[in-house]
Amino acid sequence: DGGITQSPKYLFRKEGQNVTLSCEQNLNHDAMYWYRQDPGQGLRLIYYSQIVNDFQKGDIAEGYSVSREKKESFPLTVTSAQKNPTAFYLCASTRGGQGRNSPLHFGNGTRLTVT
Amino acid sequence: GNSVTQMEGPVTLSEEAFLTINCTYTATGYPSLFWYVQYPGEGLQLLLKATKADDKGSNKGFEATYRKETTSFHLEKGSVQVSDSAVYFCALSDEYSGAGSYQLTFGKGTKLSVIP
């Protein structure tokens, strides 16, 4: 079955370290997204990518970086510049060209804890 | 800009009770509307959607009707089960982000707990 795989499910890091979260999809989707979820705040968009080798900042991109070298992969790096990195991170994808009716497909998330 | 407002939770219901979760939106264009559900420790799953005014989306006993005149998309279920305990997100798709894709704007989510 096709889907989105995020790994690892739980990640622990010391403050000051960069950490990379993996997101792989085998849905042949063009567009991929990273969201951050905090209690009571819903989902906030970090970065998104419509095609390989291109990506755009979302609403809260500061302290994060991404790459899109392959259609299937969209890793997110949480850098030491991110002031409050502890959160639940969700990767999503959708097929491009479907208009506004196209729903997002989500991975199961990575819970990052920085101490 | 676009925005989605959901009723604040948590909502606690007894099994077989009637559920309503209110959702209203603000959009500049003609959005599609969605309800997503998130079970504990998981990502979001699409529950239902509606793409134009007066459309009714339905799935697993849940329903929501796209009301343009009241800019609302309230989620309802006639008889909830313990397995419906989750966080529910209302969302709209209206902002074009290029290459044929649209961004979603999410509400903050409403946590539902159903007790036996």
A-interface mutation test, from B44, B93, B94, B95, most A Cβ less than 10 A away: B44
- Are B9 and B110 within 8 A, CB to CB? yes
A103 in contact with B at a CB cutoff of 8 Å? yes
C-alpha pair distances (Å), A23 with each of A9, A44, A80, B76: 11, 17, 20, 33
Nearest to B108 among A42, A100, A104 (CB): A42
* CA–CA min distance A80, chain B (Å): 25
| Partner residues linked to B40 by β-bridges | none
C-alpha pair distances (Å), B88 with each of A2, A73, A104, B37, B98: 24, 28, 15, 5, 28
pLDDT digits (tens, 9 = 90+) for A29-55: 989 999 999 987 889 999 999 889 999
| Alpha-carbon span B27 to B2, nearest angstrom | 5
C-alpha pair distances (Å), B116 with each of A80, B29, B35, B88, B100: 45, 42, 25, 20, 45
B5 in contact with A at a CB cutoff of 8 Å? no
pLDDT digits (tens, 9 = 90+) for B80-112: 999 999 999 999 987 665 555 677 889 999 999
Nearest to B51 among A4, A40, A101 (CB): A101
By C-alpha distance, which of B51, B43, B56, B54 is closest to B89? B43
Q: What is the DSSP letter of B108?
A: -
Nearest to B49 among A6, A103, A105 (CB): A103
- Residue A17 Rama label (left phi>0; alpha psi -120 to 50; beta): beta
C-alpha pair distances (Å), A41 with each of A19, A37, A58, A87, B72: 23, 7, 16, 11, 20
* CA–CA min distance B53, chain A (Å): 13
φ and ψ at residue B27, rounded to 5 degrees: -145, 150
Chain B residue nearest residue A29, CA to CA: B101
Q: CB distance A101–B89 less than 8 Å?
A: no
* CA–CA min distance B8, chain A (Å): 9
Q: What's the one-letter identity of residue A28?
A: N
As a whole-number percent, the residues of chain B with pLDDT over 90 amount to: 76
The per-residue pLDDT of chain A, averaged, comes to 92
Give the model's pLDDT for residue B97.
58
